[in-house]
Structure 1
Amino acid sequence: MPATPDAGVRTEVRRRRTVQRRKILQRRSRVIRVALSSAAVAAVLGAATAWIGYQGLQLKDGLESASALLPQLKEQVLANDTAGASQTLAALQGHTAKARQAAGDPLWSAASLLPGLGPNLAAGAEVAKAADDIARLAAAPMIRAFGSLDWEAMTPVDGQISLEPIRNTSPSIIAAAKTVQLAHDRLESIDAGGLLPPVRDPLVDTRAKLNDVRLSLNSAAGAVQLLPAMMGGEGPRNYLVLIQNNAEVRASGGIPGALAVIRADHGKIRMEAQAAASELGAFTPAVPVDPAQTAIFTDRLGTYMQDVNTTPDFPTAAATAKTMWETRHPGQVIDGVLAVDTMAMARLLLATGPVEIPAGTVSATSSGALATRLAHDNLMKTLLSDAYAQLPDPEEQDDYFDAVARNVFNAVAGGQGSAEELIKSVSASAADGRLLMWSGRSQEQGIIQQLPIGGAISGPSVPGAAFGVYFNDGTGAKMDYYVKRSVQLIQTCTPDGASGYTAKVTLTNSAPLDAGTSLPKYVTGDGNWGVKPGNVRTVVAVYGPAESELSEASLNGQPAPVGSFRQLERPVGTMTVQLAPGESATTEVSFDQVSRFEAPQLTVTPTIQDRAEVVQAMRSRPCA
């Protein structure tokens, strides 16, 4: 029976439905396959992410644990505690190996190539590698080198220092310093600007701690490189010593009122001469000095020995002092210049023990009004206060200061007291800027200028975010014994990638209210420089980092004029503060365009106060 038209239609409908069902099934199959594939990929990515996260925690834990041990290791090395340092090092190496292993994972390395998160992972890996390199390649040789040092042999005995132990340890210490320097340079090359806080913050912290270790180790390496030759191992050397009196402040510490010449010959040291700076008189015309510095500190910088260190740049002060001495002493050659302040001398007595000043040295010692037995706890008061009260004659003051300096030198040169404590005292003074060094030989100065002991305000020893606050007396007297100071860096809020910083400086005149009449005229200045007796005038110079800009200044919270200069690319702001007895004042000098990702470092003029008392912890000022 032939098919009807309706049957044909029904057949075509069934065929179409069949085709449609097949397409639906095919689509569902594809969706299922895609879903399964996506799930698999998601699972793999999730697992990879979880694994990278786990390795990140391992790296973070390892680095934080290692970082916490660095200060302890440094103290143990400086204390010559070889056993304790070796134990600490073993623990530290375990932590850094753990961090390096985490950062060396294949997934971590592959992910480091990706955009976005990749640079953060790469930066974390660099921190881990640097830390492990230091632990494995630098710390152990350093500990062995310091442990092998004969501390007694390195200190003077009967005026003689044995140079051989220094030469023997030199290679190990220099190699360790180079390893740390390379690690430091690797971390400094990382651009922290685009990193996430969990990576950026540990990087900045590690940089700061590593820089502390680097500076200490570079100082040790510089010392073992320099000392044999500078101690006359290759021929006699003459050094001019500026003895800085903190009672009249200068940028590098205090007025160099007393001078000495020390001769070193194959490790044997002796004091050749002493003099008062005033004996050299005025230099007319002035000794040529960098015009940028005379613009800030006037031509007194090259006119009087007492003012050579109104600049905080010690290489300038030292070279000027050398020229002045050699001009006044024809035929004498000065090979280098050292500067020590009163606190540094007091610290030496911690190691040597007290020194005796012969009664009758000056009238006040004969009468018993002035101490003849000086120790760490009374030297500063005796030199910076009592001497002026008991010795109105400046010539007698000079005689007494000369006697003190000579006897402290003899105690050190004679090997009196503890050798290890002597090295600690010298190291502490160098770290605080109370001991400075300059060499007239370019090769040696090239090493010194890389170290904090060189006292330079620019160059390889000065970090990118360096700030400096320096003081110069404007009273023309000895009133700075009564001035108390505090200095604080304040980070200000800016919306861009740079930061602003403000140096907050507070000065207080703690002299008695009747200082104008109760203190000796030599101490108050008797108004000779236009300052009312009992008052104190101080010129404050604040240095910002190179490439930053001086923005504003205030005095006691009110806008105030500020002298604006540049020295060796660094902006400088100067302000003058005058205080009556019991009065305080606070100045603030602000700088813009400072890198947010560099840890700022602050240098301050050494005064009669400990640095820890003067320099306050940095704080941040909230955004408005």
Structure 2
Amino acid sequence: MGILAGAAVGVLLHQVSAVRADLEKAMTLVPELRAELGAGNQDGSNELFAQMQESTSNARATATGPLWKAASAVPVLGANFGAVTEVAVSADDVVDRAVAPLLNQYDSLDWETLSPTDGRIDVAQLEEAAPSIMSAANTVRLSQDRLASIDLTRLLPEVADPIRSATQQLQSVNSALGTASSAAKLMPAMLGADGERNYLLLIQNSAEVRATGGIPGALAMLTVNDGQISLSDQSSAAAIEAFRPALKVDEEQERLYTGRLGTQMQNVNLTPHFPTAAETAKRMWEERHPGKTVDGVLALDPVVLAHLLEATGPVDLADPAVVQLIDGTSLPVSLTKENVVSTLLSDVYREIKEPAAQDAYFAAVAASVFSAFTDGLGDSTQLVQALTTSVQEHRLYLWSSDKGEQDIISSTALAGSVTGPNAGGASFGVYFNDGTGAKMDYYASRTVQLVQTCDPNGYSHYNVQLTVGNTAPQDAATSLPAYVTGAGVYGVEPGHFRTNYVVYGPAQALVESAQINGTAVPFGAGKHGQRPVGTVTLELAPGETAVIDLEFSRVVQDSEPKLQVTPSIQAVRDVVLPAKTSESCE
């Protein structure tokens, strides 16, 4: 009997080594497959996929065999074998039911037709690919759920750490595929396959921050009909006369953000909940443009323009009036990925004094980049990547007045929703609203980090820590234009900037306290869709730095924490720091 037991252990150890090798090989092939697909190498892609398929199939066969199942039943140590089985099954499912059909579709698609050409998008092929994309998205979602359900606290670190990493990777893939699946269902109708559609385009100016990105400075109407795209009615938020009395908005959000939400176009996105901002913007536009119906709202910021310019290459301004406007200034006629953000968020205020002219230049730049995109300039794969990156960074939002379409959008990152399914679990949001009344956020430096502690009752406590700095020059009060500093009109000393930091915690949690530089400070408290909301105001002089801490208690920890922040000119990866966990949670 001892000899048989020893032999079984020997075989099991060999199987452990084999499963690990197969899964590691499959993972190392992923970036190679992505590179081959990007290069359009069909033969190379198919060869790598065959190797990946063989590896995951072998791992699954071993990890679901009788000896492995027996090992899974062993107390304590068995949980590790059971967890690896879940990983092997998930990996094989993803390869067979997600990668395989998508690879077949990739080989058959003409990707050039999926990006605009001569102002038109042909979505017929995307309609054909939709079933495969939706099936793949469902497979990845189920696999992610399977791994997320594993209790990592019962596992050895050597097993838990790779599973945690795999779950995070699947979450990223799930998000991207979910967006692609929704796009496949939505695009034909939203691009006018059933008749003309009109979308209000909001270009958010990050130099004066708002919760979803920045004030909606430049506006335009985007019209689509059977895939043909045109831009018209270019305007600005300043041209939309304020509403007195204010338009009615959701009472819960009005309590948090005041009636200003319904007063001016510049303030519709004081709330981070984009569906509310978009619906309010639609009503404002229609009130001021009788007879013109808005079917949806699209919002983006200058960093999205930079992403697009990376794909299209440099774009020249074509409007003679705008070219004449900047004659004699240092503002560029040719916009590139390197200069577009600094030009729109800083240089234009130094070179052009009139706000209306600044808005005109801003709109002209956005229109020129948009035209380059719709004309099909640049590589189609890069254009798709530019849009995907913009969505992942929460710089691109979409809302539809059609309820059925909006229900689909609401499940994606495009929705910009802070309530609903995407806000479940340990979800946190940190949003910035300017209180300076000027364009000083170009000089703001921010990082955000979650710090978790645990109590014996099974609850988690989270400290949301913001580190904020004012990088403006010491002589900002005199060296920067009054339009940038605000000239003290709203009670903020020139060169300083004041920001309202709005922090959302998970549903049913409590916001307990707030500190600035370790000293307790008053904070606003409220709720939005069962989520606790704490608000702290901070003003900084040039060169100053401060740390804000908001403490949330009674957090039910059923998943890895998620953190969303207002996108700014900083790369999101530089703003959101890795979460930290104290020893009390080990």
**TM-score for both structures, normalised by structure 2:** 0.92
Return the letter of the residue paired with 2:447. Answer: S
1:563–1:370: structure 2 CA closer, same or farther, 3 Å change rule? same
Partner of 1:592: 553
1:432–1:527: structure 2 CA closer, same or farther, 3 Å change rule? same
How far 1:108 moved relative to its partner?
2.9
1:349–1:111: structure 2 CA closer, same or farther, 3 Å change rule? closer
Distance 1:596 1:59 in 2: 31
Say if 1:360 and 1:366, in contact at 8 Å, map to a contact too.
Answer: no
Partner of 2:172: 212
Q: Secondary structure at the match of 1:165?
A: helix
Distance 1:83 1:557 in 2: 60
State whether structure 2 residue 249 is matched by structure 1 residue 289: yes
1:158–1:618: structure 2 CA closer, same or farther, 3 Å change rule? same
Which residue of 306, 311, 323 maps to 2:283?
323
Q: Which stretches in structure 2 are left out of the alignment for 5+ residues?
A: none
Which residue of 427, 430, 435 maps to 2:396?
435
State whether structure 2 residue 118 is matched by structure 1 residue 151: no
Q: Secondary structure at the match of 1:457?
A: coil
Say if 1:436 and 1:454, in contact at 8 Å, map to a contact too.
Answer: yes
Deviations 1:41-82 (A, max 9, x none): x66555555554554444444444444554555565566554
Distance 1:250 1:593 in 2: 29
Return the letter of the residue paired with 1:240. Answer: L
Partner of 1:564: 525
Q: Which stretches in structure 1 are left out of the alignment for 5+ residues?
A: 1-39
Say if 1:193 and 1:597, in contact at 8 Å, map to a contact too.
Answer: no
Q: Secondary structure at the match of 2:533?
A: strand
Say if 1:163 and 1:233, in contact at 8 Å, map to a contact too.
Answer: no
1:393–1:150: structure 2 CA closer, same or farther, 3 Å change rule? same
Which residues of 2 match residues 494-573 of structure 1 at below 5 A? 494-495=455-456, 497-573=458-534
Say if 1:471 and 1:605, in contact at 8 Å, map to a contact too.
Answer: yes
Partner of 1:94: 54
Which residues of 2 match residues 261-410 of structure 1 at below 5 A? 261-357=221-317, 358=319, 360-361=321-322, 364-410=325-371
Decide which moves more: 263-272 or 347-356. 347-356
Distance 1:75 1:497 in 2: 44
State whether structure 2 residue 99 is matched by structure 1 residue 139: yes
Deviations 1:317-374 (A, max 9, x none): 1111112212222222111111010111122222222222245427641324432222
Say if 1:309 and 1:317, in contact at 8 Å, map to a contact too.
Answer: yes
Return the letter of the residue paired with 2:429. Answer: G
Which residue of 177, 188, 192 maps to 2:137?
177
Return the letter of the residue paired with 2:163. Answer: L
1:199–1:613: structure 2 CA closer, same or farther, 3 Å change rule? closer
Q: Secondary structure at the match of 2:215?
A: strand
State whether structure 2 residue 453 is matched by structure 1 residue 492: yes
Distance 2:159 2:323 in 1: 64
Return the letter of the residue paired with 2:230. Answer: R
1:549–1:83: structure 2 CA closer, same or farther, 3 Å change rule? farther
Distance 1:148 1:591 in 2: 50
Q: Secondary structure at the match of 1:492?
A: strand
Q: Secondary structure at the match of 2:206?
A: strand
Which residue of 244, 247, 255 maps to 2:215?
255
Say if 2:425 and 2:558, in contact at 8 Å, map to a contact too.
Answer: no
Q: Secondary structure at the match of 1:247?
A: coil
Partner of 1:619: 580
Say if 2:423 and 2:506, in contact at 8 Å, map to a contact too.
Answer: no
Larger radius of gyration: 1
Distance 1:118 1:401 in 2: 62
Distance 2:10 2:520 in 1: 55
RMSD over aligned CA atoms reads: 2.6
Decide which moves more: 470-479 or 271-280. 271-280
Partner of 2:420: 459
Which residue of 60, 69, 77 maps to 1:109?
69
Say if 1:248 and 1:480, in contact at 8 Å, map to a contact too.
Answer: yes
1:202–1:369: structure 2 CA closer, same or farther, 3 Å change rule? closer
Partner of 2:123: 163
Say if 1:233 and 1:266, in contact at 8 Å, map to a contact too.
Answer: yes
1:216–1:152: structure 2 CA closer, same or farther, 3 Å change rule? same
Say if 1:257 and 1:277, in contact at 8 Å, map to a contact too.
Answer: yes
How far 1:168 moved relative to its partner?
2.5
How far 1:172 moved relative to its partner?
1.9
State whether structure 2 residue 555 is matched by structure 1 residue 582: no
Q: Secondary structure at the match of 1:361?
A: helix
Return the letter of the residue paired with 1:470. Answer: Y
Partner of 1:21: none
Say if 1:158 and 1:414, in contact at 8 Å, map to a contact too.
Answer: yes
Q: Secondary structure at the match of 1:456?
A: coil
1:554–1:77: structure 2 CA closer, same or farther, 3 Å change rule? farther
How far 1:416 moved relative to its partner?
2.4
How far 1:189 moved relative to its partner?
4.0
Decide which moves more: 56-65 or 297-306. 56-65
1:362–1:202: structure 2 CA closer, same or farther, 3 Å change rule? closer
Say if 2:509 and 2:531, in contact at 8 Å, map to a contact too.
Answer: yes
Decide which moves more: 131-140 or 596-605. 596-605
1:570–1:73: structure 2 CA closer, same or farther, 3 Å change rule? farther
Distance 1:397 1:44 in 2: 82
1:232–1:392: structure 2 CA closer, same or farther, 3 Å change rule? same
Q: Percent identity over the alignment?
A: 46
1:236–1:135: structure 2 CA closer, same or farther, 3 Å change rule? same
Distance 1:396 1:141 in 2: 51
1:471–1:221: structure 2 CA closer, same or farther, 3 Å change rule? same
Return the letter of the residue paired with 2:140. Answer: V
Deviations 1:241-270 (A, max 9, x none): 110011101111111011111111001000
Q: Secondary structure at the match of 1:487?
A: strand
How many aligned positions are there?
Answer: 584
How far 1:471 moved relative to its partner?
0.8
Decide which moves more: 522-531 or 220-229. 220-229
Deviations 1:480-503 (A, max 9, x none): 111111222233354554433322
1:176–1:270: structure 2 CA closer, same or farther, 3 Å change rule? same
